[in-house]
Structure 1
Amino acid sequence: MTVIRPPLAGDLGAVSSTHWLASGAAMSVLERGGNAFDAAVAAGFVLQVVEPHSNGLGGDVAIALYSRSAGAARIVCGQGPTPRAATIEAFTALGISRIPAAGVLPACVPGAFGAWLRLLAEFGTMLLADVLQPAIAYAAGGYPLLPSTAQTIAVLAPLFVDEWTESARTYLPGGSTPAAGSRMRNPALAATFERLVTEAGAVSADRETQIEAAHNAFYQGFVAERIDGFLRRTEVFDSTGRRHRGLLTADDLAYWRADVEDPYALTYGDLTVLKSGPWSQGPVFLQQLALLDGFDLPAMGLNSVEYIHLLTEAAKLAFADREGWYGDPRHVPVPMAQLLTAEYTRQRRSLIGGEATIDPQPGLPCAGDPWIPQPEPDEPVADAPEWLTQLRSGIPTVGVTRAGAGNTCTVAVVDRAGNMVVAVPSGGWLKSSPVIPGLGLSLGTRAQTMWLSPGHPNTLAPGKRPRTTLSPGVVLRDGEPYLALGTPGGDQQDQWTLQTLLAATRFGLDLQAATEVPAFHIDHFPQSFAPRTARPGVVVVEASHDSSVLAGLRSRGHRLDVVPANTLGKVCAVGVDPVTGFLRAAAGARGRQAYAMCR
């Protein structure tokens, strides 16, 4: 394979994110004496401004970190719960059998802001004003509009003009569709950030007190009030083709805080891999890795027929368990400990044979009757405009049929002290719901990933976290910080990052080369986002795989969807070289947008 970008190394800090301006903001924080957590927060807020088609202040985030001072890894959960009024009955009373992909009905408590503040308060060192300054500057002064953002705005412009009028004021400057590369501003969002900083600074000069005051201003103050007022008085056109009021209230926001949790861990050789809990899909990474532990991967050869077949079959088994067992553990019992035991893994591993599995099912690690819900088919809309067709798709970007290189964001940072953090922010994108007047933000629609079928672990319930696809990961080597990585890509995140990890740790590729290895993934189960399509037996592979490998996979019973080279994923990774001590950064070259840097 030909590697497009060079390996990077330095000793002050290493940064990788899905946008060069966010990476630059993070590096500037490190150069000013901030730590990795300060830098990640600054980058996270910049991403909300410069990638509005992929995330926003009204969205959510999952964060994995290793703190050198604590000598431990932690997970920050920025996945907000559903409103207390969100019941199955509330939706069925509206004649809805599947939670809409867009609008205000699927809106959850926006968790991103609270999670970034928790990270800053507990692990960072800088003032909120300092880490927000780059985002404020870009929102007020402007940033170059990405082609994918411009395309999304162009497709949705009729919806904005006729229905989502505040979105039109925000994204159609002068009433016109902006061109890629043009200077885009969001003055209302800049004003929201500035007011949060002002209200925080008026309370105290103490750093942590200011952060708490900003949290209150958002979740109990002017932001919550404006969200509540808009949802109470406005019927919003959504992906059902009708108008509905939202269920989210100021009270839902007032009682929420981001949690800091212990990660789930798996030992793999000299590595300890750390992921978020089953409120996310994070443990599916661990389950795949555990299944692979019984095989000699280097002997197979990277991206050989046998290798791809093995990873594909392991993914089917792990994702079957995700579908059957994962959900918010505060609301449903999730047998996570049993799913990761050696004996259960051995039983599941024995199911992997030489041919493609047609009907993988969840395992039985404990008493119970796991099942995989099947989505209701989409009702056809005669002569539907393109914007409505795109609105009915729950992924952020228009014009694509799978979660690929243009969806969601990632930022990863490691500093010279060995602090390491990786975050995957998403939700609150410009296609999800209308901009809230006076705030410059849209609400996330993560509840679309839940089911209205009673009795499933991911069934809708009041105050319950939807099972998110956001899945950052931290890897230790012999107990020391080694790698942190994540990627956009919905359900595929834990397949693409696994391939990067294996390429780097089992096949000896440098970190940049590992992010550029030809990728593949399964689409076997219903996707988390509307229209919840499933393609049993299909393996999506980049065309850069050798033709003989593709033929070999077909001979084993795999149905292949061959897509253009360099179109699957956008892995961002940072790490510490255990031999030299140099800090490393890599950004997948797919999409020509992710950017890594070292100093």
Structure 2
Amino acid sequence: MTPAERPPVPDRTPTSRPWSSGMLPSKPELTGTLGAVASTHWLASAAGMRILANGGNAFDAAVAAGFVLQVVEPHFNGPGGDVSIVVHRAGSGDVQAICGQGPMPRAADIDTFTDLGLSSIPGSGLLPACVPGAFGGWMRLLAEFGTMRLADVLAPAIGYADNGFPLLPETATAIEVLAPLFREEWQGSARTYLPGGKAPAAGSRFRNPALAGTYQRLIKEAEAASADRDAQIQAAHDAFYKGFVAGEIADFLASGPVLDATGRRHKGLLTGDDLAGWEASVETAPSRVYKSYQVFKPGPWSQGPVFLQQLALLDGFDLAGMGLGSADYLHTVVECTKLAMADREAWYGDPAHSDVPLAALLDEEYTRRRRELVGARAELTLRPGEPGGRTSFIPSLSAPDDPEPDTEWMSQLRNGLPTILRATAAKGDTCTVTAVDRHGNMVAATPSGGWLKSSPAIPGLGFPLGTRGQSMFLVDGHPNSLAPGKRPRTTLSPTVVLRDGRPFVAFGTPGGDRQDQWTLQFFLNVADFGLDLQSATETTAFHTDQVPASFTPHAHRPGVLVAEETCAPEVVEELGRRGHEVELVPAYSLGRVCATGLTDGEGFVRAAASPRGRHAYAVCE
């Protein structure tokens, strides 16, 4: 279907918005002709745009922005963490997914933890550390899809790490709360995050010279190895996974046990051989057609296919007829989400180690039977399906092996999320970056892990390891059961969408297990209600907390529907009558959706960033 033949999307945007604050969007959707970047920090977005202006493509821009995020949002991600990337190359009809999720160590199995007297994998320390996948994921994107040299894309991150950047209030709060832990137990973190022995103030100029030195040495070794661009990228990869970075990590882990959330000290399981044997993989991204759109996600080693299952279920409902923000709409979306997320809990895991029935989960007849389970009242139990006649299995969750905290920092370690939890604070975590260029290249990435709260920073490198292993089960027989060399199921879930075979939009959000709820609402705002990208980031956000979280203590609250307080009072009342326990949170507190794309007609690039959190920014030229 050509653009002229396609029926116009009806403008269902009312002049008054009962589902939002009743105000116009905080800013317009940005449009331009050269390229666009949107990320969870303005400095990362600006760095990516600088790369585009200097002749790089969208993939180069995303890599540069991703490394800046490691510097300026260390409370949410770092080189020791992981990344999930979805990529569309201009002119191609497919979309690729890059898995930057490293596996568990070869020495890690269920008996390893039970022999330590543990019934679950702790959310902090060295025991849950996987092979750091972020660096390898970014290098795979740069090597196979980018055009610029390593030194060019790393230059902005080195500049901010070496010369300093204004410290975010959230980062300053995290360092202040954890400072006693850093001084008493995690001395590497004290050296990295406590300049002069003191917690830095919000807005102060913060530097990480050790991290700058790590980046600089990677470039130096790469350029010493070859003058060829591709060979330099491979040499940097080898320096990280087989060279000095791997050596520093192995030496640190061998130096002794460290305190973790259990209140005890444990040694790490990761070795240099684990790092040397890994590289990021590239695969065809699974997809699902919804109206005139084809939506692409990472594979079932992530929670990404949940988005596709939600779309499949919702395709049988007239969402536009219900009205955006209505009780019918919220109820239907949440109940379909519960079904899809229940399947995630039963069936998702590393497909290299488990037979994940993804095709059966997306089968039309299977979806039809599941859709019939959506009733008039809120469901309070998890109901996974039986794709292909298989019997579902969701392990019982063990209570964390953590002692009652006697300090503020220990209470923070008990929760595996990066956020410093406050009674009144909205929760958030992770980063995201998306980019598009005038040629039609498009990419969305969600980096996370290796945050400053996860484990001690390695002094010679300037970053800690990640703790993604906490999401695995210590029982046999589940796709996400712990096994040596197996990838834990990650929450990281970026999205790329084509419309009638042409690049349309790439987007993502922080938010752990809730990513595919908040981004789903963004996409439905565009696909079903005709909103522009910026307006689509600003409607009332909501989610269900019914499914156990991937992070310790794996909390879940059956029947709870969380919505921003801009949800209309009559909608809240009606949802209560349907059996939902509605919990209202402050306006503009759920998610930070970032999006870039292309227009249909003039071929302009466009971008948007949620006002939530005040740090996400879109840049467009």
TM-score, normalised via structure 1 length: 0.99
Listed as ranges, the matches of 1:153-302 within 5 Å are 153-302=175-324
Tell me how far 1:586 sits from its aligned partner: 0.5
1:253-277 deviations in Å (ceiling 9; x for gaps): 0010100010101011110000111
Listed as ranges, the matches of 1:112-511 within 5 Å are 112-378=134-400, 381-382=403-404, 384-400=406-422, 406-511=428-533
Q: Is the 8 A contact 1:391 1:431 kept in 2?
A: yes
After the TM superposition, which of the residue ranges 356-365 and 30-39 deviates more from structure 2? 356-365
Runs of 4+ in 1 over 4 A off after TM superposition: 400-405
SS in structure 2 opposite 1:155? helix
Listed as ranges, the matches of 1:513-592 within 5 Å are 513-592=535-614
Residue 15 (structure 1) aligns with:
37
Tell me how far 1:402 sits from its aligned partner: 11
1:212-269 deviations in Å (ceiling 9; x for gaps): 0000000000000110011012211101111000000000000101000101010111
Q: Is the 8 A contact 1:404 1:488 kept in 2?
A: no
The root-mean-square deviation of aligned C-alpha atoms, in Å, is 1.2
Tell me how far 1:379 sits from its aligned partner: 5.5
1:491-511 deviations in Å (ceiling 9; x for gaps): 000000000001012111110
> Which structure 2 residue ranges, 5 or more long, are not aligned?
1-21
Q: Is the 8 A contact 1:405 1:591 kept in 2?
A: no
Tell me how far 1:380 sits from its aligned partner: 6.6
> Which structure 1 residue ranges, 5 or more long, are not aligned?
none
Residue 50 (structure 1) aligns with:
72
Tell me how far 1:370 sits from its aligned partner: 1.4
SS in structure 1 opposite 2:95? strand
Identity of aligned residues (%): 62
After the TM superposition, which of the residue ranges 359-368 and 304-313 deviates more from structure 2? 359-368
Amino acid at match of 2:538: E
The alpha-carbon distance between structure 1 residues 403 and 527, as it changes in their structure 2 partners (threshold 3 A), is farther
The alpha-carbon distance between structure 1 residues 402 and 89, as it changes in their structure 2 partners (threshold 3 A), is farther
SS in structure 1 opposite 2:506? strand
Q: Is the 8 A contact 1:374 1:526 kept in 2?
A: no
- 2:55 matches 1:33: yes
SS in structure 1 opposite 2:103? coil
Tell me how far 1:527 sits from its aligned partner: 0.5
Tell me how far 1:6 sits from its aligned partner: 1.9
After the TM superposition, which of the residue ranges 226-235 and 240-249 deviates more from structure 2? 226-235
SS in structure 2 opposite 1:25? helix
1:511-553 deviations in Å (ceiling 9; x for gaps): 0010111100011011000110110111111101111110010
Distance 2:402 2:60 in 1: 48
Tell me how far 1:63 sits from its aligned partner: 0.2
SS in structure 2 opposite 1:591? coil
Amino acid at match of 1:257: E
SS in structure 2 opposite 1:596? strand
Distance 2:615 2:29 in 1: 17
Distance 1:30 1:380 in 2: 47
Which of these residues, 125, 128, 137, is aligned with residue 103 of structure 1?
125
Q: Is the 8 A contact 2:444 2:507 kept in 1?
A: yes
Tell me how far 1:69 sits from its aligned partner: 4.6
The alpha-carbon distance between structure 1 residues 393 and 403, as it changes in their structure 2 partners (threshold 3 A), is farther
Distance 2:32 2:404 in 1: 57
Distance 1:383 1:424 in 2: 32
The alpha-carbon distance between structure 1 residues 589 and 414, as it changes in their structure 2 partners (threshold 3 A), is same
Tell me how far 1:369 sits from its aligned partner: 2.3
Distance 2:439 2:31 in 1: 15
Distance 2:195 2:290 in 1: 52
Distance 1:553 1:383 in 2: 37
Amino acid at match of 2:492: L
Residue 98 (structure 2) aligns with:
76
Amino acid at match of 1:598: C
Distance 1:312 1:403 in 2: 23
Tell me how far 1:452 sits from its aligned partner: 0.5
Q: Is the 8 A contact 2:526 2:532 kept in 1?
A: yes
Distance 2:442 2:433 in 1: 11
Distance 1:373 1:409 in 2: 29
